[in-house]
Amino acid sequence: MNVKEIAEKLNLKVLSGASGLSNEISFGYASDLLSDVMGNAKSGEVWITLQTHKNVMAIASLKDLAAVILVSGLQPESDMAAQSDEEGIPVLSSSEDAFTLIGKLYELLKK
Protein backbone atom coordinates (compact mmCIF):
# COMPACT_ATOMS: atom_id res chain seq x y z
CA MET A 1 0.00 0.00 0.00
CA ASN A 2 1.39 3.44 -0.81
CA VAL A 3 1.28 6.65 1.22
CA LYS A 4 -1.59 8.14 -0.77
CA GLU A 5 -3.82 5.11 -0.20
CA ILE A 6 -3.10 5.14 3.54
CA ALA A 7 -3.85 8.87 3.68
CA GLU A 8 -7.22 8.33 1.98
CA LYS A 9 -8.22 5.33 4.06
CA LEU A 10 -7.33 6.96 7.40
CA ASN A 11 -8.39 10.48 6.54
CA LEU A 12 -4.90 11.95 6.99
CA LYS A 13 -3.94 15.42 5.83
CA VAL A 14 -0.89 15.65 3.57
CA LEU A 15 1.09 18.58 5.01
CA SER A 16 4.28 18.38 2.95
CA GLY A 17 6.43 16.15 0.78
CA ALA A 18 3.61 15.38 -1.66
CA SER A 19 6.11 14.20 -4.29
CA GLY A 20 6.56 11.06 -2.16
CA LEU A 21 2.89 10.04 -2.05
CA SER A 22 3.61 7.00 -4.22
CA ASN A 23 6.21 5.69 -1.70
CA GLU A 24 5.36 2.10 -0.78
CA ILE A 25 4.80 1.45 2.93
CA SER A 26 6.12 -1.87 4.23
CA PHE A 27 5.02 -1.53 7.85
CA GLY A 28 5.02 1.00 10.67
CA TYR A 29 7.17 2.12 13.59
CA ALA A 30 5.86 4.21 16.47
CA SER A 31 8.20 6.10 18.78
CA ASP A 32 9.00 9.59 20.04
CA LEU A 33 12.60 8.71 20.91
CA LEU A 34 14.80 9.49 17.93
CA SER A 35 17.55 7.01 18.75
CA ASP A 36 14.94 4.28 19.08
CA VAL A 37 13.80 4.98 15.52
CA MET A 38 17.41 5.29 14.36
CA GLY A 39 18.28 1.92 15.85
CA ASN A 40 15.12 -0.06 15.16
CA ALA A 41 12.96 1.29 12.32
CA LYS A 42 13.36 -0.41 8.94
CA SER A 43 13.46 1.13 5.51
CA GLY A 44 10.06 1.57 3.87
CA GLU A 45 8.24 1.92 7.17
CA VAL A 46 5.91 4.77 8.11
CA TRP A 47 6.90 6.53 11.35
CA ILE A 48 4.18 7.61 13.78
CA THR A 49 5.29 10.30 16.24
CA LEU A 50 4.45 13.54 18.02
CA GLN A 51 7.89 15.07 17.37
CA THR A 52 7.56 18.02 15.00
CA HIS A 53 11.13 19.30 14.48
CA LYS A 54 13.53 19.06 11.56
CA ASN A 55 15.62 16.21 13.00
CA VAL A 56 12.66 13.92 12.35
CA MET A 57 13.21 14.38 8.62
CA ALA A 58 16.97 13.82 8.93
CA ILE A 59 16.24 10.44 10.49
CA ALA A 60 13.42 9.61 8.06
CA SER A 61 15.79 10.31 5.18
CA LEU A 62 18.79 8.44 6.63
CA LYS A 63 16.58 5.42 7.36
CA ASP A 64 14.75 5.55 3.99
CA LEU A 65 11.35 5.72 5.69
CA ALA A 66 8.25 6.03 3.49
CA ALA A 67 6.46 8.80 5.40
CA VAL A 68 5.93 10.40 8.82
CA ILE A 69 2.52 10.66 10.49
CA LEU A 70 2.03 13.27 13.21
CA VAL A 71 -0.70 12.39 15.68
CA SER A 72 -3.27 14.46 17.62
CA GLY A 73 -3.47 17.16 14.93
CA LEU A 74 0.16 18.27 15.40
CA GLN A 75 1.79 20.41 12.73
CA PRO A 76 5.42 20.23 11.57
CA GLU A 77 7.72 23.17 12.29
CA SER A 78 8.41 25.10 9.09
CA ASP A 79 11.94 23.74 8.59
CA MET A 80 10.65 20.19 9.07
CA ALA A 81 8.04 20.76 6.33
CA ALA A 82 10.69 22.30 4.08
CA GLN A 83 13.00 19.31 4.44
CA SER A 84 10.09 16.93 3.87
CA ASP A 85 9.45 18.68 0.52
CA GLU A 86 13.15 18.55 -0.33
CA GLU A 87 13.48 14.84 0.46
CA GLY A 88 10.13 13.79 -1.00
CA ILE A 89 9.16 12.11 2.26
CA PRO A 90 5.57 13.08 3.07
CA VAL A 91 4.50 14.40 6.46
CA LEU A 92 0.87 13.53 7.21
CA SER A 93 -1.30 14.58 10.10
CA SER A 94 -4.00 12.67 11.93
CA SER A 95 -6.58 14.31 14.17
CA GLU A 96 -6.65 11.11 16.23
CA ASP A 97 -4.34 10.26 19.12
CA ALA A 98 -1.47 7.81 18.65
CA PHE A 99 -3.24 4.75 20.12
CA THR A 100 -6.32 5.08 17.93
CA LEU A 101 -4.42 5.89 14.75
CA ILE A 102 -1.86 3.13 15.21
CA GLY A 103 -4.63 0.58 15.83
CA LYS A 104 -6.25 1.41 12.51
CA LEU A 105 -2.93 1.56 10.71
CA TYR A 106 -1.93 -1.85 12.06
CA GLU A 107 -5.12 -3.38 10.68
CA LEU A 108 -4.26 -2.01 7.23
CA LEU A 109 -0.59 -2.99 7.22
CA LYS A 110 -0.45 -6.27 9.14
CA LYS A 111 0.83 -9.21 7.16
Partner 1 sequence: MHFEFQVEGGNFSKAGTASSQLKKILKQLNVDSRDIKRVVVALYEAEVNVVAHAYQGVIIIDIDTEKIRIRIEDEGPGIKDIDLAMQQGFSTASELVREMGFGAGMGLPNIKNNTDELTVTSEVGKGTNVHMLINFSI
List contacts with partner 1 (CB under 8 A): 32-36, 38-39, 43, 49, 51, 53-55, 58-59, 61-63, 79
- Least CB distance to partner 1 at residue 35 (A): 4
CB-wise, 35 or 111, nearer to partner 1? 35
CA angle 48, 83, 19 (to 5 degrees): 80
Alpha helices in 1-111 (DSSP H): 3-9, 34-40, 55-62, 78-87, 98-109
- Least CB distance to partner 1 at residue 8 (A): 29
- Least CB distance to partner 1 at residue 19 (A): 18
CB-wise, 4 or 45, nearer to partner 1? 45
Do the beta carbons of residue 46 and residue 68 sit within 8 Å? Answer: yes
CB-wise, 64 or 97, nearer to partner 1? 64
34 C-beta neighbours (distance < 10 Å), count: 15
